[in-house]
């Protein structure tokens, strides 16, 4: 049997970590099993769904390189034999209504005329009296006369599913194993709202069946929806797909991951400078692992190794420190050209427009490649190469007021101006030689040189930095520092 799985986002915001993990696991499962990965848009929440959200979700999926085979495509066209794949379009074709009517006719669903306020009041009362609120589903057994009366009052009904009163709903989850719900605790959920729109629990069953899904892989926040859905399958005489509920994702404090824990939307991680490869790798490890706990996966390796048996049911903790470490690992794997490409948009946002054909620019961007954790931080680390240096008070006081500072900087300026092959090896040798012949410690020379050419007390390896700045620029900057020192001392 060929597997068919789907990612079915509700377009009510950006793609978040949890949704992206669901999309990824479905994608990986389809790849691994040679199946089909479908994208269905569940836009039955008329008030909260938006095209903007659809676009944002698609753009994050594209960034993560999660391509789907079938469904609503990025240009909103439909691809595949089971369309349309957008629930609002399916609704207007009357697909859900047809099955709702069938269930009504068979007495497996009923019209409910209660207003939201009435229902709330009834539920509260039932809760206080420690009864199941099902006892309060007063429209369950309406007589024809009562229906007539409600209609006469102009009430707009919803359609509810009639849950079995007794017995259990049991299923074998591929991750959670044996799952069991008492039917008397399941409520008569709304299938069709007063607006005529289907609800998630109903539309999902109709579509998963008609689209011939073989496996439902989704977050375990849906596990309590599954018995409701399984009862609909049963009522319609359909064979349900297999279910695999992915473990919950928690923040470091043990609470379910939410905005409180910092960025949770994929777009936000992208903005901060995580690589898509990092995110994909990190998301894969949220609730899944290989038996040898592999951390980093080469391109294509996840597609090969992923399996549902490696999924765990215990919650997975989202660890920002590990994510940043992993991004550093991925950044280190990039060639100079790839790093430049990847960092380009971040540098541009930072106000640095660099030239790909200038090898020096590539060198500069890569100068601290070993240290980068986020592409978003590259700009501030290399900007001094391209902008005039300014020195802040503490730097001046700490380094540029050292004894012999003028003598050191003048001497270095002279030394550098005499170098014909201005590369790091020569620069280092000459700097050390200057220190030695003039009786200075290396640090006494290195620190002020670093500060005067970069405005910073810390930064990339000194001699490479000087090489990349170039002789003229280095001399210009030393001159500037010297004039600053002189002005400062004459002002005293």
Nearer to ligand GLU, 216 or 367 (CB): 216
Is 467 exposed, middle or buried (CB count within 10 Å of its CB: 0-12, 13-18, 19+)? Answer: buried
Residue 41 has φ and ψ, to the nearest 5°, of -95, 120
The strand pairing partners of 170, in sequence order, are 180
Give the C-alpha separation, 325 to 314, whole Å: 24
Give the C-alpha separation, 92 to 123, whole Å: 33
305 binds ligand GLU (CB under 6 A): no
Compute the least distance from the CB of residue 42 to ligand GLU, in Å.
4
Q: Is 62 a catalytic residue?
A: no
* Cis peptide preceding 84, ω within 30 of 0: yes
133 binds ligand GLU (CB under 6 A): no
9 binds ligand GLU (CB under 6 A): yes
209 binds ligand GLU (CB under 6 A): no
8 binds ligand GLU (CB under 6 A): yes
Query: Taking contact as CB under 6 A, which single stretch among the options 5-13, 238-246, 327-335, 437-445 is the one that binds ligand GLU?
Result: 5-13
Give the count of alpha carbons within 13 A of 439, CB side only.
2
The two tokens of residue 92 are: 């207007």
137 binds ligand GLU (CB under 6 A): no
Using CB under 6 A, pick the residue from 64, 159, 204, 375 that binds ligand GLU. Answer: 204
Using CB under 6 A, pick the residue from 3, 10, 258, 290 that binds ligand GLU. Answer: 10
Is 296 exposed, middle or buried (CB count within 10 Å of its CB: 0-12, 13-18, 19+)? Answer: middle
11 binds ligand GLU (CB under 6 A): no
Give the C-alpha separation, 210 to 87, whole Å: 12
Compute the least distance from the CB of residue 358 to ligand GLU, in Å.
46
Compute the least distance from the CB of residue 40 to ligand GLU, in Å.
8
Give the C-alpha separation, 294 to 305, whole Å: 10
Q: Which of 2, 98, 259, 387 is catalytic?
A: 259
Interacting positions 34-93 with ligand GLU (CB under 6 A) = 42
Give the C-alpha separation, 44 to 38, whole Å: 18
Interacting positions 220-239 with ligand GLU (CB under 6 A) = 222
Query: Taking contact as CB under 6 A, which single stretch among the options 7-15, 237-245, 331-339, 347-355 is the one that binds ligand GLU?
Result: 7-15
207 binds ligand GLU (CB under 6 A): no
Residue 4 has φ and ψ, to the nearest 5°, of -135, 125
Contact 431, 445 (CB under 8 A): yes
Q: Is the dihedral of CA 15, 20, 23, 24 positive or negative?
A: positive
Nearer to ligand GLU, 204 or 485 (CB): 204
Compute the least distance from the CB of residue 31 to ligand GLU, in Å.
19
What are the residue numbers of the active site?
259
Binding site for ligand GLU (CB under 6 A): 8-10, 42, 200, 204, 218, 222
């Amino acid at each position: 049997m060929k597997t068919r799985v789907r990612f079915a986002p509700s377009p009510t915001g950006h793609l978040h970590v949890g949704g992206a993990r669901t999309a990824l696991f479905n994608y990986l499962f389809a790849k691994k099993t040679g199946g089909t990965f479908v994208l269905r848009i569940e836009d039955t929440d008329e008030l909260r769904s938006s095209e903007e959200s659809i676009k944002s979700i698609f753009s994050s999926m594209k960034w993560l390189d999660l391509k789907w085979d079938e469904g609503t495509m990025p240009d909103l066209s439909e691809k595949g034999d089971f369309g349309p794949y957008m629930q609002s379009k399916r609704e207007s074709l009357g697909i859900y209504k047809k099955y709702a009517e069938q269930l009504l006719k068979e007495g497996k669903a009923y019209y409910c005329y209660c207003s939201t306020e009435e229902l709330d009041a009834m539920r509260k009362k039932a809760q206080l009296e420690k009864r199941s609120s099902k006892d309060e589903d007063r429209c369950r057994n309406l007589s024809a006369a009562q229906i007539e009366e409600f209609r006469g009052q102009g009430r707009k009904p919803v359609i509810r599913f009639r849950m079995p009163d007794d017995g259990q709903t049991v299923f074998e989850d591929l991750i959670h194993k044996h799952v069991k719900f008492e039917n008397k605790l399941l409520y008569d959920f709304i299938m069709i709202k007063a607006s005529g729109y289907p609800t998630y629990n109903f539309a999902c069953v109709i579509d998963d069946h008609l689209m011939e899904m073989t496996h439902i892989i989704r977050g375990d926040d849906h596990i309590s929806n599954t018995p409701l859905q399984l009862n609909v399958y049963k009522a319609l005489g359909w064979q349900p797909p297999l279910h695999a509920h992915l473990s919950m994702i928690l923040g470091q404090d043990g609470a379910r991951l939410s905005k409180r824990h910092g960025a949770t939307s994929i777009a936000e991680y992208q903005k901060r400078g995580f690589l898509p490869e990092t995110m994909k790798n990190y998301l894969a490890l949220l609730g899944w692992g290989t038996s040898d706990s592999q951390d980093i996966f080469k391109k294509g390796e996840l597609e090969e190794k992923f399996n549902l048996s490696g999924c765990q049911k215990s919650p997975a903790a989202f660890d920002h420190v590990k994510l940043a470490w992993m991004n550093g690992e991925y950044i280190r794997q990039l060639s100079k050209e790839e790093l430049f490409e990847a960092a380009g948009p971040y540098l541009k946002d930072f106000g640095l427009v660099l030239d790909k054909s200038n090898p020096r620019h590539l060198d500069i961007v890569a100068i601290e490649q070993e240290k980068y954790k986020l592409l978003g931080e590259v700009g501030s680390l290399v900007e001094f190469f391209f902008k005039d240096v300014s020195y802040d008070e503490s730097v001046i006081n700490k380094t540029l007021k050292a004894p012999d500072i003028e003598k050191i900087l003048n001497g270095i300026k002279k030394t550098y101006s005499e170098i014909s092959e201005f590369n790091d090896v020569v620069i280092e040798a000459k700097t050390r030689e200057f220190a030695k012949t003039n009786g200075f410690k290396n640090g006494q020379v290195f620190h002020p040189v670093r500060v005067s050419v970069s405005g910073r007390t810390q930064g990339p390896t000194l001699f490479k930095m000087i090489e990349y700045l170039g002789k003229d620029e280095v001399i210009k900057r030393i001159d500037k520092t010297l004039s600053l020192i002189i002005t400062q001392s004459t002002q005293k």
